[in-house]
Structure 1
């Protein structure tokens, strides 16, 4: 099981990241840019913002505990990770992938 503390530490471990409220969630973003992940404490889940292609790859690894957010954001790559059941190494890889995509984007 992955705790909120561990998820937060991972998300903030990348250079230039910050934490901020995002509706009922906690958001993680690259300072001055958009979010790359959110965390929901009540069900210990994270939504990580991947590309649709990356989303497909991560979902194949664990279809039960990693899945597309069931809305328009999910169609764009927003992916839910059930942190009680997904290995921390896999979550870290998804966070790194999402963070890197934002850093590479032009402002």
Structure 2
């Protein structure tokens, strides 16, 4: 079991990570965007992952990882069960979430670029 205190230690150890309030949750973010959230009960956390990684984790470790229900899950938002996930698996997933949140947002192609 990963405690809220340990989750915070791990999340805040990433370069440039900070903790900020986000609705009823604690959010962990880079200067660009949020990569994880932790609800008050600390039984789960949500991570923003690439879809292919989300699918692989959910298939390999279904007791530890699940897509967030609905459209959020289809965008890569993933719930991690902190009562069953190993610290090693959590660190690996948080590493990927942090890396994704650290990347500059992709700009949509301009009309001119699409016409080429």
Aligned-partner SS, 2:83: coil
Aligned to 1:41: 40
- Cα distance in structure 2, aligned partners of 1:63 and 1:11: 22
- Cα distance in structure 2, aligned partners of 1:94 and 1:14: 12
Write out aligned runs for 1:47-62 (5 A): 47-62=46-61
Aligned to 1:89: 88
- Cα distance in structure 2, aligned partners of 1:38 and 1:71: 17
Residue 42 of structure 1: how far off its partner (Å): 1.4
Q: Deviations over 1:16-41 (max 9, x none)?
A: 1110111111100002x110000113
More strand by share: 1
Residue 83 of structure 1: how far off its partner (Å): 0.2
Please give the TM-score of this superposition, normalised by the length of structure 1: 0.92
Gaps of 5+ in 2: 107-116
Aligned-partner SS, 2:41: helix
Please give the TM-score of this superposition, normalised by the length of structure 2: 0.85
| Residues 2/60 of structure 1: CA separation in 2 closer, same or farther (3 Å cut) | same
Aligned to 2:63: 64
Gaps of 5+ in 1: none
Aligned to 1:30: 30
Rg larger for? 2
- The alignment's C-alpha RMSD in Å is 1.4
Aligned to 2:73: 74
Aligned to 2:8: 8
Residue 43 of structure 1: how far off its partner (Å): 4.8
Residue 57 of structure 1: how far off its partner (Å): 1.2
